[in-house]
Amino acid sequence: MKVMIMFCVYASLYFQCNNGATNLPKDVVVPAVIAFGDSVLDPGNNNYINTVTKANFPPYGKDFIGRKPTGRFGNGKIISDFLAKALGVKEYVPAYLDPSLQDKDLLMGVSFASAGSGYDPLTSTLASVIPLAAQLDMFKDYIEKLKRIVGEEAAKNIITNSVYFISASTNDFLTNYYSYRFRRLQYDLPAYCNKLAEFATSSIQELHKLGARRIIVFSSSTIGCIPFERTVHGGPNRKCVHKYNKAAQVFNDILKEHLQILSSSFPESRIASLDFYNPMISIMKNPRLYGLDVVDEGCCGTRNVEMGYFCNMLTKLCKNDSKFFFWDSLHPSEKGSEILTNLVVPELMKSLFY
């Protein structure tokens, strides 16, 4: 309670403190949401680096405020935005590299995530994006900015009580391990999954050293059911690619074990994986249950392969993107992200507060 009062006193210099979130337990406040990882949580950091992995052009963002393409890989809000709202923090999590950020934006959290990134440093190198290690360096810079804005003690309270999200692994498998032979020559699948979990654990340990205490790591989703992979590797009927989904399951089991061991080393912290695999399976099998019509194609283009620069103003769009789970051939639509978030929030709250 003392932490909540102190935060709101400082925050009131900039904004109206929001402590009325229905998802939070009584007397719990989350001052900020801070995100690391890949496109699931990247609201536009890639706009400001030299990479082809961008989404800062139409029709991306067509359902965002002002129909603005922000760099989010979707038609509107992404999962980080919905999670921030569920935790009672704010409507949108901004990109840390956005030069228009103001002090009030920093107080309530930012995303350091970079679309195309992964746990494996090689993955980020292949895509010319920001690796996790560099994202953590940016977080250190962020902490110093917080201290300048509200002072060292209040900054410490914000860092300690914020919620941290990490999403990676998809690119490690799809654009690294299964696209290039180098890692496959070094590791079989279980060994590579273990290596990824070690990379994740190392990043979490660094976050903990910097003051983070509520850390949630996304599991791998059903990467074999992504439209692009169905088209390229799913055969004439575009079925889910079992090999890729199996890789996700192996990684998820190993990651969970690593996080359980790590959590036992930091009993004053909450460190847990958040299951996205099973909710995705449920959506794929029962789309109508969630108000969806299409779960095997994206809204953009032919719906099977377009993403990034191939999803553009010359590309035909579906008539109603709210009926599509995927926006392009890789990323969820705003509706898809909202549905996924609603499905994982109960587990999230349990992991963080109960």
Q: What is the rounded CA–CA span in Å between residue 100 and residue 121?
A: 29
pLDDT for residue 316 is more than 90? no
Rounded to an integer, the average pLDDT of 102-130 is 97
pLDDT for residue 10 is more than 50? no
**Which of these, 57, 10, 44, lies nearest to 29 by C-alpha position?**
10
Q: In percent, how much of the chain has pLDDT > 90?
A: 86
pLDDT at position 22 is: 52
Q: Is 328 one of the catalytic residues?
A: yes
Reported confidence tier of residue 230, pLDDT bands at 50, 70, 90? very high
pLDDT for residue 277 is more than 50? yes
Handedness of CA 144, 146, 148, 151 (dihedral sign): negative
Average pLDDT, the chain: 92
Least confident of 270-274, 313-317, 322-326, 335-339: 313-317
pLDDT for residue 305 is more than 90? no
Residue written as token pair 């509200």: 150
pLDDT for residue 13 is more than 70? no
pLDDT for residue 8 is more than 80? no
Q: Is 293 one of the catalytic residues?
A: no
pLDDT at position 16 is: 37
User: What is the fold, at CATH topology level, of the domain defined by 2-278?
Assistant: Rossmann fold (3.40.50)
pLDDT at position 303 is: 63
pLDDT at position 204 is: 98
pLDDT at position 2 is: 40
Query: Catalytic residue among 38, 120, 219, 331, which?
Result: 331
pLDDT for residue 18 is more than 70? no
pLDDT at position 24 is: 82
Q: Amino acid identity of 244?
A: Y
Rounded to an integer, the average pLDDT of 244-249 is 98
Reported confidence tier of residue 6, pLDDT bands at 50, 70, 90? very low
CB 327 within 8 A of CB 337: no
Query: Catalytic residue among 172, 296, 328, 351, which?
Result: 328
pLDDT at position 28 is: 86
Rounded to an integer, the average pLDDT of 197-220 is 98
> Each residue of 340-350: pLDDT tens digit?
999 999 999 99
Backbone angles phi, psi at 232, to 5 degrees: -80, -35
Rounded to an integer, the average pLDDT of 165-179 is 97
pLDDT at position 124 is: 98
Least confident of 32-46, 260-274, 313-327: 313-327
pLDDT at position 309 is: 79
End-to-end CA distance of the chain, in Å?
17
Rounded to an integer, the average pLDDT of 61-82 is 96
Q: Is 38 one of the catalytic residues?
A: no
Q: Amino acid identity of 129?
A: V
CB 228 within 8 A of CB 176: no
Give the pair of three-digit tokens for residue 195: 């290596």
Reported confidence tier of residue 42, pLDDT bands at 50, 70, 90? very high
Residues 6+ apart with CB under 8 A from 245: 222, 223, 224, 225
Give the pair of three-digit tokens for residue 290: 């969630």
CB 319 within 8 A of CB 306: no
Residues 6+ apart with CB under 8 A from 299: 75, 317, 318, 321, 324, 326, 327, 328, 333
pLDDT for residue 307 is more than 80? no
Rounded to an integer, the average pLDDT of 57-85 is 96
Helices and strands in the chain, H and E counts = 13, 6
Least confident of 21-25, 136-140, 237-241: 21-25
pLDDT at position 17 is: 44
Q: What's the angle, vertex CA 44, arms to CA 102 and CA 314, rounded to 5? A: 135
